[in-house]
Amino acid sequence: MDDLKTALKKTLVPRRNPHLHSELHLLVDEARTLFKEKAQKGPGSFAFYLGFFKRLGVQKVRRILAEVEQSDAKDSKRLFWWKIKQER
What local confidence, expressed as pLDDT, does residue 42 receive? 86
What local confidence, expressed as pLDDT, does residue 8 receive? 64
> Please, are residues 65 and 80 in contact by the beta-carbon 8 Å criterion?
yes
- List Cβ neighbours of 17 (8 Å cut-off, separation of 6 or more): 29
Residue 28's SS3 state is helix
**10-residue averages of pLDDT along the chain (88 residues):** 67 64 86 88 89 90 92 89 87
What local confidence, expressed as pLDDT, does residue 18 receive? 67
What local confidence, expressed as pLDDT, does residue 9 receive? 65
10 Å Cβ neighbour count for 24?
16
What local confidence, expressed as pLDDT, does residue 1 receive? 57
Q: How far is residue 7's CA from residue 11's CA, in Å, rounded to a whole number?
A: 6
Residue type, 4: L
What local confidence, expressed as pLDDT, does residue 88 receive? 74
